[in-house]
Amino acid sequence: MSGPKSGNYVAAAERRRQLERQAENEIKQRKENIRKLKEDVKAKKAQLEITRKENEASRTIPENRNDNTALKQRALHIEGLLETNKVEFRHVNNNEHENIVVKKISQGKLDFSNLQEKIKEEDALDPRLKDFSYNESINNIDESEEAIVNKEIIKFGANVTGSKQESIMFGKNSTSIIEEQIANKPVLDHSEIIEELNEEYFQLNDLIENYLLNMQSSSRKELLGFKESLDNIVSDQRLDSSYKLSQLRIRKEAFLLTKDKYDIELKYFEEQKDKFNNLYEEYEAICEILDEEAEEIDLNSLDIVSTMSLLEEKVKEKREELNKDIEARYVSESINEVMEELGYDIVASDYMTAPKRNVMHNIYDFGDKNVLNVYTSDNGSLMFEVTGIKEKEELSSSDKLRIKEGMDKFCPQYQKVKEALEAKGISITNENLLPADVRFAKAIDLESKVKAGEKSKKSSRRNKNNKLKYKTL
């Protein structure tokens, strides 16, 4: 009864628990390594982002954009007009004419002041906000400022009639009553407004970005719309800085009133993301032990339950696969130890994969040009088979007889192997013990098996790691 011998192996319950504990420890260690690697990558990305922003903030801006040369030249030209234009009018008791002059000259002064404000705003704007406003700044400079100062002052000054004429010089040292009225008009501190505008915008923008980066809920569309409204306000050249600031503050108050809604969604998503990441790291760790590629799975916040269920099912499947793989490797290593104790040397090993099972094939020198093949599958099956070594295409009758004699020789050895495995907590059940017969005689290509085994060891991490891992049990 020494033909091919097959059956199913079963590890004792205590031995299985020991294997599962060892697997659990390995999973934890791999998870920790994966987490550390991800944290390192995240830290490096964060540092790269900081460096990118620093470089962006300090990048060289073209001169005509950085110092607003065009704007400043226009301002100097208009200021010259204001200092040199003479306006004559008749002083009459009727204050209506004077009011008209005051109004028109004030308009010219204010247009000049507005141009100066643009310069101050461009100089004070954060480089990121300057991107919004700069393109419109130069386009908005035309001859209207000069026309108002030059034409309107002359028109409404020189053509006014009354009982008396006076000549007034509008310049930096003018002491006219009209200029004093204009000078007494309150002027806003634009540098402070711009500073507050910058601060308000970026604080609110950063707050919204935090939600957008850390949640993918149905509220994302609302937040994107809100962010777009902020950008539209800041980039609108028709609005002055004070109005922009007031609008940002109004929207900030409105956002803070609804912020709790987003906080609740964010908290829930963060909790689910932590669970997902922890489970996915376990999935990655198991796949790494099995030397498989982990499937990429993203947490879908619009269907968190389904996404988590999918991942939980995959982890369950991989755990079952890992437990079977661990048990098969333990059995294979145990058989190897027993064969070494009986004096048989391993001459080749191979790890064969199939759609429904993986098989560890160990080959031992059995003397007289024969070898003993031991197949251990992760589906629980086991087979011992004595074969010859292939040297030619067809086996001769004497070759087959020699192989049959090897089968007979293995008969008592099989019982010793079986007993030694039982001592290690491994039982062989559902045995199919075929008799020694030349009908079962065949030969294997040992050279190709040796090459295949060497290739498998180089390409598979687990061949190397698990050989040490399970042999120490």
Supply the pLDDT for residue 132. Answer: 47
Q: How confident is the model at residue 311 (pLDDT cuts 50, 70, 90)?
A: very high
Closest CA relative to residue 322, chosen from 117, 15, 22, 38 = 22
Query: Angle at which helices 190-214 and 220-235 pack, to 10 degrees?
Result: 160
Q: How confident is the model at residue 305 (pLDDT cuts 50, 70, 90)?
A: confident
Residue 462 φ then ψ, to 5°: -70, -25
C-alpha span between 413 and 416 (Å, rounded): 5
Supply the pLDDT for residue 272. Answer: 87
Query: Angle at which helices 241-289 and 13-57 pack, to 10 degrees?
Result: 150
* Res 100 pLDDT > 90: no
Of 11-20, 244-253, 442-451, the poorest mean pLDDT is in 442-451
Report yes or no: 328 and 338 within 8 Å, Cβ to Cβ. Answer: no
* Res 360 pLDDT > 80: yes
Supply the pLDDT for residue 302. Answer: 61
Mean pLDDT across 27-34: 93
C-alpha span between 56 and 351 (Å, rounded): 54
Extents of the domains making up the chain: 5-16+323-469, 63-187, 193-285
Alpha carbon distance, N-terminus to C-terminus of the chain: 33
C-alpha span between 14 and 261 (Å, rounded): 52
Separation of CA 438 from chain center: 63
* Res 90 pLDDT > 90: no
Mean pLDDT across 391-400: 86
C-alpha span between 3 and 404 (Å, rounded): 8
* Res 169 pLDDT > 70: no
Comparing 365 with 172, the larger pLDDT belongs to: 365
* Res 299 pLDDT > 90: no
Give how far Cα 319 sits from Cα of 11, 174, 290, 324, Å.
Answer: 17, 91, 10, 9
Query: pLDDT tens-digit profile of 198-216?
Result: 888 888 888 888 888 777 6
Supply the pLDDT for residue 344. Answer: 93
Closest CA relative to residue 284, chosen from 29, 22, 19 = 29
Supply the pLDDT for residue 33. Answer: 93
Report yes or no: 436 and 2 within 8 Å, Cβ to Cβ. Answer: yes
C-alpha span between 328 and 286 (Å, rounded): 16
C-alpha span between 177 and 162 (Å, rounded): 17
Residues 6 or more apart whose Cβ sits within 8 Å of residue 283: 294, 297, 311, 314, 315, 318
Query: pLDDT tens-digit profile of 3-16?
Result: 788 999 999 999 99
Quote helix, strand, coil % in the chain, to nearest 5.
Answer: 65, 15, 20
Q: Determine how many CB atoms are found less than 10 A away from the CB of residue 344.
A: 18
C-alpha span between 35 and 39 (Å, rounded): 6
